[in-house]
């Protein structure tokens, strides 16, 4: 049992001083920020600002196409 405690404590010491672990954690934070920004831009459905602009643009193109034909 003592051997496992020593192995675990050594692994935790290495994890605290491991710079790669910090970089991985930073990637997780950046990914969460990107997900938040995309959710804010598009909304949870097609009701976000970009979704509304795209729907309006497509509707204008369809109207112009139908008028031309």
Q: Would you state the pLDDT for residue 47? A: 66
CA separation for the pair 48, 35 (Å, rounded): 14
Angle at which helix 19-42 crosses helix 49-68, to 10 degrees, equals 50
Look at residues 39, 36, 56, 59 and name the one whose alpha carbon lies nearest to residue 48: 39
What pTM did the predictor assign?
0.41
Confidence of residue 16 (pLDDT cuts 50, 70, 90): low
Give tens-digit pLDDT for 17-67: 656 656 677 788 888 898 888 877 776 666 667 778 888 899 999 999 888
């Amino acid at each position: 049992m003592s051997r496992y405690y020593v192995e675990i404590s050594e692994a935790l010491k290495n994890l605290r001083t491991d710079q790669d672990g910090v970089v991985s954690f930073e990637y997780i934070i950046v990914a969460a920020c990107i997900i938040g920004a995309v959710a804010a831009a598009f909304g949870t459905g097609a009701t976000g600002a970009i979704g509304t602009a795209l729907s309006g643009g497509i509707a204008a193109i369809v109207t112009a196409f139908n008028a031309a034909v």
